[in-house]
Amino acid sequence: MIGFGFTGRFRLKKTDEFSSVFNFRKRIFGPGLLVYYKPNAIGHARLGLVVAKKITRSAVQRNYMKRILRELFRQQQLGLGGLDIVVRPQKTFSRCEFLEIKAEFQGALDHLRK
């Protein structure tokens, strides 16, 4: 049984894992996020995050964005099944845009569940 934790088995870590998701070329566009996805044979969803310095130079801001996206994924991971997901923010978001990013991310995950 998969719990609500976010251990290492729920993360994409290796360059080859990220590359295979990017090369599969399935993605969902949004105003703030770009979500790439690919089915996997593992049976549970895994998440990879790419937050470039081009988006924001501040490491504090990049880490905040990653923390928020990891937490949103952790709350929704049970219904996703076997998918590898890479999330790439298109613009900087802060605490005041949290609800917008949350709605956009949940919309993308709902689309993936179908």
pLDDT one-digit tens code per residue, 43-70: 899 999 999 999 999 999 999 999 999 9
CA separation for the pair 111, 113 (Å, rounded): 5
Number of structural domains (the chain) is: 1
Strand pairing report for 27-29 and 33-39: antiparallel
Residue 2: inside a domain: no
What does residue 65 show for φ and ψ, rounded to 5 degrees? -60, -45
Residue 37: inside a domain: yes
**Structural domain range at position 60:** 8-113
The distance of Cα 57 from the centroid of its chain, to the nearest Å, equals 20
CATH number at residue 39: 3.30.230.10
Residue 75: inside a domain: yes
Residue 78: inside a domain: yes
CB atoms within 10 A of CB 89: 22
Residue 3: inside a domain: no
pLDDT one-digit tens code per residue, 3-46: 667 788 899 999 999 999 999 999 999 999 999 999 999 989 99
Residue 99: inside a domain: yes
What does residue 33 show for φ and ψ, rounded to 5 degrees? -135, 150
Strand pairing report for 46-49 and 33-39: unpaired
Residue 56: inside a domain: yes
pTM: predicted TM-score of the whole model, two decimal places: 0.89
